[in-house]
Amino acid sequence: MISKRIILFVFASLGITPIYSQEPYDLNRCIITGLEKNFSILIARNLEEISSNNYSTGNAGFLPSLDLSSRYGGTLENTTQKPVEGDETVTKDVHNTSGNASATLGWTIFQGFSAHTNYKKLNELRLVGELNTQMAVEDFIAEMASEYYYYIQQLRLYQNLAYAVSLSRERVRIDEERYLLGASSKLQLLQSLVYLNSDSSRYARQNEVLRASQVRINELMSSENLGEAIVLKDSTISINTGLIYDSLLALTHTLNTSLQIAHRNTVISEYDYKIIQARTYPYLNLSTGYGYSWNTYDQNSTKSRQVNGMNYGLSLGVNLFDGLNRQRERANARIEIDNMEHQYQQVEQQVNADLITIYFAYQNNLLLLKLEEQNLETARENLEIALERYKLGNLSGLELREVQQSLLEAEERLLMVQYQTKLAEISLLQISGRITEYLNLK
């Protein structure tokens, strides 16, 4: 166990003041904070809102259009008339005015059910927008969880290095006493100092890794102060050892977001084909309007004129030939449907391959965990024995260094396996659509 003094030394080296009243961040809090402020999530939600706004009957083509227009104008003319017989007539400053106002209603009543198909397509696009937001959320949770446990791994390694420095410092003290008593050579003391400096250098470099990971967590949470020191609630990497492949596979085929998006894209491509096909049907348009116009005349038998009334009409037609463009577009739409189906199969195959590969790594790492835990216990016991022998002069400095390095390597291997197992767990939960379970952590 690392003493309280060593823990305080760790905080001081990190530039962190151990304020115990500060509420620590657990993974759930980090995720919730990021979901509220992370820029990628905000962008995804805005895009989802756009696709939701586009899902309307008016955008699909169900509703009519209504236009209002008006105009007022006039003419100011000078007229000179020269008849075949008689005198020339000159008229100046003849001012005539005119104006009109109208309301026009246009409505496509039928066009091969294209409005219904458009409406269904817009709904699919809305669902894809929701799925894209869901994927952004899942990616964020996975990234935050990975960084959260990476920080814990690096902090544990940092503490182990602090312990290694304390052991090297104790060895220097022993060798210095021996040298002063004449029981040891100066060469051995100098070698102990070299080991101490080497451990201290590695310990200092680990500080940079910790700070970078802490900045990354703040970045994911979109904190205003990226350099703010945070305290994590967890100090160990907890691992879910109960993941079952068959259950994960069944959930993957149902909940995997990439598969759902690929399926929706296939449906959208089918709607695109139907929209093109709708152009082969006749179309029926309704138009109606109301207009009012007036004219005033300076020199005319009629001083002014006003007209108002309605107009209406139905237009029925069908496009018989458009240069074979519709046939070309239908052929391309069929190819696009085929591509979307292939893309779905490709995504499905890739997801299944990732699930198998990662689950194998997950199981293998669970086995390695037990082995590395046993190795660590053995390495700790070896160090205790080696230190006693070294104090008694029954063990050389080189042999003690090897035992010390073996302990540090065993701790590093265990931390690495723990983190790799956790990464596999995170990936499996993300593939199977269960990554949001991290939001329910207590």
pLDDT in tens, 218-231: 999 999 899 888 88
Please write the tens of the pLDDT for every residue from 134-152: 999 999 999 999 999 999 9
pLDDT of residue 170: 86
- How far is residue 13's CA from residue 19's CA, in Å, rounded to a whole number? 15
pLDDT-based confidence at residue 22 (cuts at 50, 70, 90) = low
Confidence bin at 6 (pLDDT 50/70/90): very low
Of the listed ranges 119-133, 176-190, 205-219, 416-430, the least confidently predicted one is 176-190
The pLDDT assigned to 89 comes to: 80
* pLDDT band, residue 165 (cuts 50/70/90): very high
Q: Stretch 287-302: mean pLDDT, rounded? A: 85
The per-residue DSSP string of 130-165 comes to HHHHHHHHHHHHHHHHHHHHHHHHHHHHHHHHHHHH
pLDDT at position 116 over 50: yes
Average pLDDT, stretch 346-366? 97
β-strand 283-296 against 89-111: which pairing, if any?
A: antiparallel
CATH 1.20.1600.10 for domain 4-37+112-282+318-440: yes
Q: Where does residue 431 rank: exposed (0-12), middle (13-18), buried (19+ CB within 10 A)?
A: buried
Does residue 368 have a pLDDT over 70? yes
Q: Give the CATH fold of the 65-111+284-317 domain.
A: Outer membrane efflux proteins (OEP) (2.20.200)
d(CA 314, CA 284): 7
DSSP assignments along 294-332, one per residue: EEE-SSSS-SEEEEEEEEEEEEEE----STTHHHHHHHH
pLDDT of residue 112: 86
Domains 4-37+112-282+318-440 and 65-111+284-317 share a fold: no
Say whether 240 sits in a helix, a strand or coil: coil
Q: Is the pLDDT of residue 216 over 50?
A: yes
Computed over every residue of the chain, the mean pLDDT equals 89
Coarse DSSP helix, strand, coil percentages of the chain, rounded to the nearest 5 percent: 65, 15, 20
**Mean per-residue pLDDT, 251-277:** 96
The 3-class SS string of 90-113 reads: EEEEEEEEEEEEEEEEEEEEEECC
Confidence of residue 129 (pLDDT cuts 50, 70, 90): very high
Res 127 pLDDT > 80: yes
pLDDT score at 357: 97
Q: Kindly indicate the confidence band of residue 275, based on its pLDDT and cuts at 50, 70 and 90.
A: very high
Task: Answer whether residue 49 shows pLDDT above 70.
Answer: yes
- pTM for the model stands at 0.85
Beta bridge partners of 53: none
Longest Cα–Cα distance in the chain: 148
List the chain domain ranges: 4-37+112-282+318-440, 65-111+284-317
Least confident interval from 302-311, 356-365, 404-413: 302-311
pLDDT at 21: 40
Q: How many residues does the chain have?
A: 442
What was the pLDDT predicted at 392? 83
